[in-house]
Structure 1
């Protein structure tokens, strides 16, 4: 995008994105960097569509496959779109050339549905984390987790780069920081693949061999050792990232690698490789699957899962071996950068190479990572100009998964007595299988394409006088194909099941992890060290879990009264979120505490200690504690402070206790790492803005009037009245303001 058009594209895309976001998710916040990231992505989508689908018919087909609901939206001609058709047409004309009016409508609809998808994925992701704001990193994660978006990003990358670093899809144009970030993302995906192998494939059948675990070790190797190593390695990478004094500094990979090399812990990869590449490994796998108990277990599963164990599992077991090779490639690339620790990384590389000498590449399957963003490819696969080599070629994809030969078998009548077969060159892509007819030695003609969307595979079909036969059952038509050998058939079925079952396996692992997480008790700090986690008792809080006020839109419980500590706890609860409660509290807090007392309580709430005897708990339990308890509470404390600064800044700046200075000191003490940095920065900027406005008499009076109007014009709002005594806080009834003229506070 040229610099002189950047502002115009932002003027087109930004208002639509914000309108759609706050219309769908009014209680969340979309940071500027996240909005900018979505704008950049929408521009890539537009470029992708204009390059790949320049004609209306092609664009219609793409929309039908990926966004069928867009067809309904297009039929509603009176529907108002969030992106201006006229502005979009003008910018496309300037940037890409002239396109007809109907194409612009389709493009605008596509952009809108892609925006909805990104926002929904981001909302669901941050909501699970207990956050109420979306930052750029969240957008990056969700876009790279969606199949359609990844295909667009990959296509855009392929269009801007001519070469690929290696068979492992490492882009040579990446900067040092981008390569490090890509390495960490890849390592996270690899951990998910290991969890899939252990928790989905191995653990369910391990119980059938409790008297003979040796066969499990022979088939699955030392996966536990590799998983433990990967988990600790990722933890060290996260620590290296968090321990940087400056977020602009590069992350060091040398120390995390060196820590494990000194203990010779990468030796587990040598042991694993020798197990998986053993000559009798496939025979041992078949022996395990032929066990009667395993057969009964798999019979209870769907056909898709049974076929996955037989055809896809052998390839998935090669993922750790491929990943170890990726370590070498990443280190080679990183050592070339002048800003890297070149000498140290070279030393690490030489040690790791000693563990890889025994790996024989011809014996490896391709790298079929279930959680990788990009699709796999053959080791000798190159970008081919299919259009020039195959007559009538109309497929847009350029990188194939497999290129081999099949017989296409056609049964002419229902009695199966008349069977014909033709030789075809079969080229497999991520969503299409193309069949081509041979014209001469080097000339081919495109004959048919099979859309691999919703399809099943029959590997047991028998056709007289034909061997190595399998059937692809699609919605519209079935295709009977015969491979050249049993090994060739096995590879075809492996790849087809990878394409079909990749998302299924991702969901299966997700469900397993969710169930495991639900079974774990969430740790909490010791109440003697952290007063905000004391149990609810009649002496510190009175809650009505049902209300007779049917017109109320509040939650299913109402706080009738509480100590100030309990109010702060529920105000910033790690699970319960009630925006009206925050609003009510900030309007009334001065009736039972001072601004300084409130600030001190919020700071105490923010500084959460570790659970008592933390060394007794597993790393997974502590990680859940930090993710589901510490992080949500800290974010909600900062959210309360942000609303306090935004709505009631006068309470802070006019306090005789220098509350504003103490608040700024607290905010500046928050480390410049993680998602809290963005929140902290936005609050400090808001304080600077509010300070300038306060010094302007007109704006100061205007702000005071807004606060007064807001306090005087509240309808149906819960107001909490609490009186102090020497021993505790006496809970009183909630007063519900139903008239604009009633006083906000009144004693009963």
Structure 2
């Protein structure tokens, strides 16, 4: 089917991305419905998607606006009878849609796209109708391809399989290739060669079973499709006279196949092969094969079609029996086969005698083998035959026969009515080739010596066959009608020859239609005949569904069409967990995650064992009476019961057990008796179909036991080697010196991320369901979750303790800056749990109130902290958006999951009342499982980082509370906070230094960056910008320097000491800096030769030179000297009504009026609850003072002509710290500009 050119091209560069892959996931569901045991390659589903889009293009050509328009288009374009079936399915889908029963294909995604295709909006019901038609055709293609794949004993559908199957199906070929003159079918040469060598006994049995199944299908075709109309019109026809004992033969075939299947199934695992000789011996002794003789005599009377006989007269049984006898290794089985052969000798002789009178030797039986034997068996022989025929035809043009056809059917001579000479006809499944014989020698040297000359060829999918009555002009004729209305009449020499040609031609033309009719008939029969189940009193899982035991979600179904359970009894939940009609992996996953909230593991195993042990239904009184008379009324029903109920249920019980031990083995670790019971149960399971499941479960158990004995394995292979460990003041092995300020901030963040990632990945879904971490047995039920909660609490308290126990203001500011650096690395590692741990610590009461401390923090670090705090605003909206945008590995914030689970657990009842009975509210468990599923999707990807065991142990053993109780420790922290920064004082108390080592930060850039190693995993969405030390703003860069302590050196540490390092790798929370930003200034210190190392310490300048205009430091003697008197407060520029001071970035209240908010909006939009950030200064415009300026180090000279920002007073021997009233003191931006030519001096002050 080639759609005419539309304005909308589905496969153009512009439109193809919108449709590509849209249908592939849904086609997987369609395949699971038509062939549950087959899988498909991606290319096969993509090919079907292309075909469906072609079909959609054809439907849209008619510009449909209503359902009737689409239906009319289908009737005109689809071949008969597939048009009626597609319309029936589409109308059923509309009816179901009223009950919101969705199709497998995504209607909601296709509907808006159809507006673009058609150029106008159509009703949703029309879209449903169109999609239903498309889904029916896709299911038809997949069913056809699946049948072909099963016939060739494969288990995966490929694109080539679909092309091969469609090439043999006239209906689909007419639909998709109706305008193509030549169609490339499939390269037979690519198929694997058939196995022509000797087969072993078991292989012979499997081959025989496959052919018997196909033979049974052919019998069903005769009985269900052809015989049924005769049976329903007994007054007009006598079906017995026409079809003889065909039903007896079908029953015999079912019985034989059942006996062989049972024998194969029940064969002991230690036996080399199944012994099927007794199956034939028993039936032969019962004379069960005798209906063949009566049938052959009846159907071979004059006028009976040879085609029916060809299905039944091939001597296949004797051939297989002889081969089985030769290959059998068991003497008793050999004897059974000999007895069977002997008992069937008379029948065989009689059949051969009957057939020899009426059949051409071997011809029809050969034809039967071609049509109905295993298609792949003689593939290469077929190729060879086709090539020989093609070489023997002079004037052949176009594609090779082997590319258009699958098999050679027959050849012979026919007379074309109106032509002078006879035509030699070659009939293939796709082509009918008419040739004229070449008489005599070739006329010219070098010309072809072919035996035939091509006259014409017909594509079988484009013609119709019409029988012609004998007339005076011709006899024994039939007509081939072409698509354009022209026709060709051929005449055979005799009625027998005509019958042979008509049988082959009609079979080719209607085979696919008849197959579909048979499938429809079998499906309808299966729906009408209810399977007999055991008595519910004996087997409680056979209780019928009712509102008292199960409730389904109204107007909701899963994408695969499976009903979703809302509530039910435990028995009904177990029944649906192992349902015989379909598998529901989502339900299995949800159930095993949540069942502990209503059922204990021991109870679940008991229920599964009970579900597995299925009794057979008891016979009724009528059945019992028939049994007493020697009949077997239940044999067929029992066979169906075992095949369609017992086996699926038992396999699904084992599947549940496999999922249980694979994903929830902790249940068995906590209860050794449970594992023993499961192993005993598995050991009792018998049957070949169950063996692979038993082996799989046993291997999983052994692997889990081994892992339990060996401990968790950390041997993970990464594409690149992890970065080396970073060290700072503390060196390897100096564990007693490990602390916040002695360890490298990068390595602190890395090791904490590794530790928290391990904690996060260890949490099992069962630790969350039912809020068990808040219950009495929480230590038993939620050990991993509690370990993570305690670690998070300890780390947050440790950060708080490190801050408030650093009494010296300048040192405390550096401690806070160091923690913010750790937060930066957390961001780059996607450790959101760590980020919010820092935010929590900064937002705690003891730390949040330290306004003077936060005033000393560089503006860049404050901005980073503010942006991190925004993650938790508006119900974590920005955090959730960021989490979904990044690629693992990551450590999500666990608190939000716990909150959502608690709300779900507390807001929904555990049981629903129905007719006075309590049903388990499974919809509540499903909601919780959705949350745990989101947790699990981030648990699979580990970090490419190296564990440093000493640092890891240091953080594992953190105990900031020591022996204090929780309230006592909280009071201690708050009192300490009040001690270091009292309320309502203008002058802070002065404290001695705590640290004896330099507090200069090493930065957050790795010291060694090797090719092939990574600094950190790429954070969030974008790789951070690389900013060298030479591009750091002047005030922040220069303040990062540190000088040896001396009486002449101010002891106020540079508040932006980490600024240089913190800007090495821009956090993704930072805004990209444009060229006009100071970060991108072209003026850089020329002496910075190593971009990965901190800047060199500049030479000390006389302190008085920088500070003499404001303060005198000549009398200063020591750090510990108390201030004698407070100095005069520096002027505020400009003077205006003071704002409420809020230097901490963690305020939740709106910012004070009048404060500017110019934070970059690149990644985070401004929030009304965000505190005001400073304006980013630009070297090209007026240089504005930041809201909380960093202190200028003493070695930076201020230009005499430049009016700099106000500098807070320094501690000295003769001056006191100015009194800063909390929440009222706010410096305003300075609007005086610094001359442009002075900037290099400021930026390169260290070079002077």
TM-score normalised per structure 2:
0.41
Aligned match for 1:704, one of 762, 778, 790: 762
Q: For 2:930 and 2:221, locate their aligned partners in 1 and report how far apart those are by CA, in whole Å.
A: 62
Question: 2:259 corresponds to which residue?
Answer: 236
Q: Which moved more, 1:423-432 or 1:174-183?
A: 174-183
Conservation of the 8 A alpha-carbon contact between 1:144 and 1:150? no
Q: For 1:554 and 1:314, locate their aligned partners in 2 and report how far apart those are by CA, in whole Å.
A: 45
- Deviation of 1:709 (Å): 8.4
Q: For 2:762 and 2:54, locate their aligned partners in 1 and report how far apart those are by CA, in whole Å.
A: 49
Conservation of the 8 A alpha-carbon contact between 2:654 and 2:694? yes
Aligned match for 1:176, one of 184, 187, 201: 201
* 1:151-550 → structure 2 map (5 Å cutoff): 160=193, 173-209=198-234, 213=238, 216-246=239-269, 249-278=272-301, 280=302, 282=303, 314-322=306-314, 325-337=315-327, 339=329, 341-342=333-334, 344-357=336-349, 358-361=353-356, 363-364=358-359, 366-367=364-365, 372-374=373-375, 383=385, 385-393=388-396, 394-396=400-402, 400-409=408-417, 419-440=418-439, 443-460=451-468, 465-475=473-483, 478-536=487-545, 541=549, 543=551, 545-546=553-554
Q: Matched residue of 1:359: which SS?
A: helix
1:631 aligns with 2:647: yes
Question: 1:608 corresponds to which residue?
Answer: 614
Q: 1:633 to 1:553 in 2, by over 3 A?
A: closer
Deviation digits for residues 351-409 of structure 1 (CA, Å, limit 9, x no counterpart): 323212223336237146575444999xxx99573245333454336963221112334
Q: Which moved more, 1:734-743 or 1:519-528?
A: 734-743
1:588 aligns with 2:591: no
Q: Which moved more, 1:173-182 or 1:361-370?
A: 361-370
Q: Matched residue of 2:401: which SS?
A: coil
Conservation of the 8 A alpha-carbon contact between 2:411 and 2:425? yes
Q: 1:68 to 1:571 in 2, by over 3 A?
A: closer
Q: For 1:422 and 1:463, locate their aligned partners in 2 and report how far apart those are by CA, in whole Å.
A: 20
Aligned match for 1:685, one of 695, 699, 710: 699
* 1:22-37 → structure 2 map (5 Å cutoff): 25=28
- Deviation of 1:524 (Å): 1.9
**CA RMSD after TM alignment:** 5.1
Q: Whose helix proportion is higher, 1 or 2? A: 1
Question: 1:669 corresponds to which residue?
Answer: 684
- Deviation of 1:221 (Å): 2.0
Q: 1:707 to 1:177 in 2, by over 3 A?
A: same
Q: For 2:253 and 2:560, locate their aligned partners in 1 and report how far apart those are by CA, in whole Å.
A: 48
Q: Matched residue of 2:313: which SS?
A: helix
- Deviation of 1:236 (Å): 0.9
Conservation of the 8 A alpha-carbon contact between 1:122 and 1:142? no
- Deviation of 1:181 (Å): 1.0
Question: 1:148 corresponds to which residue?
Answer: 165
Q: 1:251 to 1:344 in 2, by over 3 A?
A: same
Instruction: Figure out how many residues of one structure are paired with residues of the other and give that number.
Output: 589
Question: 1:48 corresponds to which residue?
Answer: none
Deviation digits for residues 176-198 of structure 1 (CA, Å, limit 9, x no counterpart): 32222111111112122222222
1:574 aligns with 2:573: no
Conservation of the 8 A alpha-carbon contact between 1:407 and 1:422? yes
Gap runs ≥5 in structure 1: 1-19, 46-62, 74-115, 126-134, 163-170, 286-312, 410-418
Conservation of the 8 A alpha-carbon contact between 1:389 and 1:444? yes
- Deviation of 1:449 (Å): 2.2
Conservation of the 8 A alpha-carbon contact between 2:277 and 2:334? no
- Deviation of 1:468 (Å): 3.2
Q: Matched residue of 1:208: which SS?
A: coil
Conservation of the 8 A alpha-carbon contact between 1:118 and 1:142? no
Conservation of the 8 A alpha-carbon contact between 1:722 and 1:730? yes
Q: For 2:912 and 2:709, locate their aligned partners in 1 and report how far apart those are by CA, in whole Å.
A: 35
Deviation digits for residues 671-703 of structure 1 (CA, Å, limit 9, x no counterpart): 1412x3323322222222222333343359776
The structure whose Rg is larger is 2
Q: For 1:554 and 1:469, locate their aligned partners in 2 and report how far apart those are by CA, in whole Å.
A: 52
Q: 1:320 to 1:465 in 2, by over 3 A?
A: closer
Q: For 1:317 and 1:222, locate their aligned partners in 2 and report how far apart those are by CA, in whole Å.
A: 13
Conservation of the 8 A alpha-carbon contact between 2:553 and 2:564? yes
Q: For 2:558 and 2:212, locate their aligned partners in 1 and report how far apart those are by CA, in whole Å.
A: 51
Q: For 1:177 and 1:153, locate their aligned partners in 2 and report how far apart those are by CA, in whole Å.
A: 32
Conservation of the 8 A alpha-carbon contact between 1:458 and 1:472? yes
Q: Matched residue of 1:489: which SS?
A: helix
Q: Which moved more, 1:489-498 or 1:627-636?
A: 627-636
Between 1 and 2, higher relative CO (CA 8 Å, sep ≥ 6) is seen in 1
Deviation digits for residues 213-246 of structure 1 (CA, Å, limit 9, x no counterpart): 5xx4333222222222222111111121122102
Q: 1:153 to 1:551 in 2, by over 3 A?
A: closer
Q: For 2:242 and 2:559, locate their aligned partners in 1 and report how far apart those are by CA, in whole Å.
A: 60
Q: 1:527 to 1:733 in 2, by over 3 A?
A: closer
- Deviation of 1:556 (Å): 6.0
- Deviation of 1:743 (Å): 11
- Deviation of 1:654 (Å): 1.2
Conservation of the 8 A alpha-carbon contact between 1:247 and 1:672? no
Q: For 2:358 and 2:578, locate their aligned partners in 1 and report how far apart those are by CA, in whole Å.
A: 56
Q: For 2:558 and 2:237, locate their aligned partners in 1 and report how far apart those are by CA, in whole Å.
A: 64
* 1:19-168 → structure 2 map (5 Å cutoff): 25=28, 69=51, 120-121=142-143, 148=165, 160=193
Conservation of the 8 A alpha-carbon contact between 1:458 and 1:471? yes
Q: For 1:251 and 1:143, locate their aligned partners in 2 and report how far apart those are by CA, in whole Å.
A: 34
Conservation of the 8 A alpha-carbon contact between 2:550 and 2:919? no
- Deviation of 1:156 (Å): 6.3
TM-score normalised per structure 1:
0.66
